[in-house]
Structure 1
Amino acid sequence: MCPRPYPSEQERIMVTSRLSGLKDLTVEERRDRIVANSPVEVEDLAVLDPADGLGVAEADHMVENVIGVLGIPVGVAANFTVNGRDVLVPMATEEPSVIAAASNAARIARSAGGFHTSSSGPVMRAQIQVIDVVDPNAAKMRLLQASDDLVAAANEVDPMLVSVGGGAIGIEVHLVEAAEQTYVVVHLIVDVRDAMGANAVNTMAEALAPQIAEIAQGRTLMRILSNKADLRLARASAVFPAAELGGEQVVDNIVHSAALADADPYRAATHNKGITNGITAVVLATGNDTRAVEAGLHSHAVRDGRYSSVSRFEKNRDGDLVASIEVPMAVGLVGGATKVHPVARLAVKMTGVTTASELAEIIVAAGLAQNLAALRALATEGIQQGHMSLHARNIAVAAGATTAEEIAAVATRMVEEKKVRQERAEEILAEVRRD
């Protein structure tokens, strides 16, 4: 068989993320479209096959006591335009409808210019806790007076980070009133460049601990980064035209739904979970730390003293929906699974990003897209209609359907009957095979 022709690098300059009908293609055909419209080469995609992806030998070097690997579906969200650039967004998730919903929301935003993003820079903080300090307020003053020396000492620990423009840039000193005593907590502020930063800031914190203990005249205990990455924020906004959403009433319904999430923590928890459906899928696909990112997001949701939504929805003077989001986004391009895991390397390459901040901004755009998609479904037909139609395919497979025809027939019948249950899938499958 002759090899399929692929475009040259010059031909790829004019690419698009608007890949309509992607869901109707075979896996091989989808891969062809991805290669034609992203920075990846056809040979890069081999790692997506289980036999050529992360093997047990590689996994054994990543974590302890390895006995195997767990496969997670990796898909591509289409239609994204971020800051004027089309980008295909890799997403790793086991949940049906997430990728389709994000792609659809991105298509709607695309008609009004897509997503506009910004970020505050790759700055993390480590905490060094000092206990048994007799004069906490005076200790705070002594530490602040020594801040230049402490920053210089921290930078001696990681000259490589300093050489690429990063490194420690300052300290803060907090007095934390706890049940046992008043703790003096030094925050070391570090620009970690394109790393997630945990290893860098933890190493610096441990190295500074003896000097800090001497200045504060106490004993240091905790020496570790904070996942409340409130100095490393990523933001995204987009306009969703009312006509594309379904009209003025749908816009009003979405605004009311978002207002409830802003005011009610019970609704906010599910609202923010919908955001992390998009965010976590991209974070996981790119080999970053999903737990750190989610911890940062949820801590940001209580920045005003109560748990609330991290996104906002408003109606502009034209009657269109304006959505925005701001969350901590501690992700990196160097170190960890991002460099070790072959699929993570492919996912990063697919996005075409060159800095961790760019990746963070694409991730929050995906989170906002997923958020809008969920709110629109809730404001119209309800969340179950779209979700269950995709979930029905999983139920059909669990019931024993093996061919594409069987899966489609069983799933379609269950959705039509509104009985998406395994026992019903088994009954329908038996009928399909008899016929």
Structure 2
Amino acid sequence: MSIFFHRSYQQNKTSKSLYLRLIKVYIMNHKPIEGFSKLPKQGKIDWLVNEYLEGNQEYQNILKQYWNEDADLQKLHDEFSENTISNFYMPYGIAPNFLIDGKLVALPMAVEESSVVAAASKAAKFWIDKGGFKTTIINTEKLGHTHFIFNVEPHKLLHFFNFNLKKKLFETTDDITANMRKRGGGILNINLVDKTAEMPNYYQLKASFDTVDSMGANFINSCLEQFGKTLRQEVATSEDFTQEEKNSLQIVMNILSNFTPDCIVRAEVSCKMEDLKDDSGISPEEFASKFKQAVTIAEIEPYRATTHNKGVMNGVDAVVIATGNDFRATEACAHAYAARDGQYRSLTHCTTDNGVFRFWIDLPISVGVVGGLTNLHPLVKFSLALLGKPSAQELMSILAVSGLAQNFGALRSLVTTGIQKGHMKMHLLNILNQLGATEEEKQYFVAYFKDKTVSHHEVINEFNRMRGN
């Protein structure tokens, strides 16, 4: 509808009144609702179907097909979020044979995209007899900021921070950090950051945290909000500032940062060049050369780097979701890190020095294994149990390995057979389901395309030929 309005307006800009009348008619057909969140689940569904779906009962049935038969379990899922009316399922798959730091692991992956699990599994199998994946936790610091405006000389504020405020910030968050400190975490440091060169009178309190096995968002934000209160109180009672300066203080916001360049893990694989031999049809030396070139292109070319890193995050996100962590946060952090020097670049790197192939990733990622969904979602509990109940640092390693494996699998296909050969074989069943194929027909097509390249066009042609259309 909105496209129609836009085109109407563009084709005849003098008809603004007609354009506005069309919008009014459209809005009149759908009335705003007050108190939607207070309606029971069935009430929400009834309103949506009647208001937007012409009362079609089929849509109600679709929603209810995805409800869990266990009412208590369904209620648990309903309460994860707000205004819930159904569940949105994703396939939950397993990528076995990951040798990580000498330990054999099967990765849980929640992902709807064809070939992601298959590519990760194939990469794991490739590296299992070559030493597997090795990881190193480089650092685990997380960050948050109190952003504030203060019309005061920087040197005066710095003196106040060093000789008064910093100590008070630790003292006034003592109760908040007590339990975290018992577990070995807490506030690591607090610094005053002068940002006045970029924005008039803008400063930050920049704090670093160790949240041990939790992702720590609520903990960090609670500390930061107390920082804002303490800053306001200490400025108000300080003799270092004039009343005019005190009146200029504005606490803009207190919030963690999802960019955690100092919470970072490295995962890598390496082997002698001759050990890269496989059934791809090219020599190990040619494979290594083309593979390194592909990585270098992603390091210097943002158009390629974007797709390259998307592939990395295919592997990362699937395990992040399966373990109940925040994939939006991991995505935002990874892509910010990829652009940390001003140009968007590859997250993975490759060398082929002295006859040794080495491929690695440095991944900034903040995750938890306690709190949030980890204590509530049954499949998250299953995932963590499957992984051996890892610590947050161990999960960081697993996630980096999953991303590296996925990227290796994609690049291996790209520089040998091409991406479509394997991907479209995985996508074949999706095409057949769209065509309404029977189980017998699916078996036929899997066998038919075993030694052929799958394409949407070829599947439809063969499907029509087989059915005599």
TM superposition score category, shorter chain reference? 0.7 to 0.9
Pairing 1:176–2:195 present: yes
User: 1:250–1:424: structure 2 CA closer, same or farther, 3 Å change rule?
Assistant: closer
In 2, the alpha carbon distance for the partners of 1:239 and 1:118 equals 14
Pairing 1:86–2:104 present: yes
Aligned partner letter, 2:160: R
Displacement of 1:415: 7.8
The answer for the alignment partner of 2:442 in structure 1 is 407
In 1, the alpha carbon distance for the partners of 2:303 and 2:135 equals 28
Aligned partner letter, 1:287: G
User: 1:298–1:52: structure 2 CA closer, same or farther, 3 Å change rule?
Assistant: farther
The answer for the alignment partner of 1:260 in structure 2 is 297
Q: Secondary structure at the match of 2:262?
A: coil
Q: Secondary structure at the match of 1:282?
A: helix
Displacement of 1:182: 3.5
User: 1:396–1:177: structure 2 CA closer, same or farther, 3 Å change rule?
Assistant: farther
Q: Conserved in 2, the CA contact under 8 Å of 1:56 and 1:66?
A: no
Match of 1:136 among 154, 158, 182: 154
TM-score normalised per structure 2: 0.76
Match of 1:243 among 277, 287, 291: 277
In 2, the alpha carbon distance for the partners of 1:193 and 1:71 equals 31
Pairing 1:167–2:183 present: no
Q: Conserved in 1, the CA contact under 8 Å of 2:146 and 2:255?
A: yes
User: 1:432–1:95: structure 2 CA closer, same or farther, 3 Å change rule?
Assistant: same
Q: Conserved in 1, the CA contact under 8 Å of 2:214 and 2:371?
A: yes
The answer for the alignment partner of 1:373 in structure 2 is 409
The answer for the alignment partner of 1:150 in structure 2 is 169
In 2, the alpha carbon distance for the partners of 1:287 and 1:123 equals 21
The answer for the alignment partner of 1:357 in structure 2 is 393
In 2, the alpha carbon distance for the partners of 1:354 and 1:122 equals 15
User: 1:416–1:169: structure 2 CA closer, same or farther, 3 Å change rule?
Assistant: same
User: 1:390–1:137: structure 2 CA closer, same or farther, 3 Å change rule?
Assistant: farther
- How many positions carry a matched residue from both structures? 384
Give CA deviations for 1:18-77 in whole Å, capped at 9, x if unaligned: xxxxxxxxxxxxxxxxxxxxxxxxxxxxxxx96569943112211000001111101111
TM-score normalised per structure 1: 0.82
User: 1:424–1:382: structure 2 CA closer, same or farther, 3 Å change rule?
Assistant: closer
Displacement of 1:141: 3.9
Give CA deviations for 1:105-130 in whole Å, capped at 9, x if unaligned: 11222222111112134431111001
The answer for the alignment partner of 1:120 in structure 2 is 138
Displacement of 1:412: 5.3
Unaligned runs of 5+ in 2: 1-66, 236-245
In 2, the alpha carbon distance for the partners of 1:178 and 1:361 equals 38
Q: Conserved in 2, the CA contact under 8 Å of 1:140 and 1:184?
A: no
In 1, the alpha carbon distance for the partners of 2:159 and 2:442 equals 69
Aligned partner letter, 1:243: K
Q: Secondary structure at the match of 2:187?
A: strand
User: 1:254–1:159: structure 2 CA closer, same or farther, 3 Å change rule?
Assistant: same
Pairing 1:384–2:420 present: yes
Unaligned runs of 5+ in 1: 1-48
Q: Conserved in 1, the CA contact under 8 Å of 2:150 and 2:203?
A: no
Q: Conserved in 2, the CA contact under 8 Å of 1:279 and 1:367?
A: yes
Give CA deviations for 1:377-399 in whole Å, capped at 9, x if unaligned: 11111111100111111111111
Q: Conserved in 2, the CA contact under 8 Å of 1:142 and 1:215?
A: no
Q: Conserved in 1, the CA contact under 8 Å of 2:309 and 2:346?
A: yes
Displacement of 1:158: 3.1
User: 1:81–1:375: structure 2 CA closer, same or farther, 3 Å change rule?
Assistant: same
Aligned partner letter, 1:286: T
In 1, the alpha carbon distance for the partners of 2:191 and 2:414 equals 44
Displacement of 1:186: 0.8
Match of 2:256 among 208, 225, 244: 225
Pairing 1:324–2:389 present: no
Q: Conserved in 1, the CA contact under 8 Å of 2:338 and 2:347?
A: yes
Displacement of 1:340: 1.3
In 2, the alpha carbon distance for the partners of 1:65 and 1:369 equals 37
Displacement of 1:176: 2.1
In 1, the alpha carbon distance for the partners of 2:438 and 2:69 equals 21
Give CA deviations for 1:131-160 in whole Å, capped at 9, x if unaligned: 133223432342244323322322321321
Q: Conserved in 1, the CA contact under 8 Å of 2:95 and 2:121?
A: yes
The answer for the alignment partner of 2:64 in structure 1 is none
Q: How do 1:249-288 residues align onto structure 2 when only pairs under 5 Å count? A: 249-288=286-325
Q: Secondary structure at the match of 2:354?
A: coil
Cα-Cα RMSD: 2.5
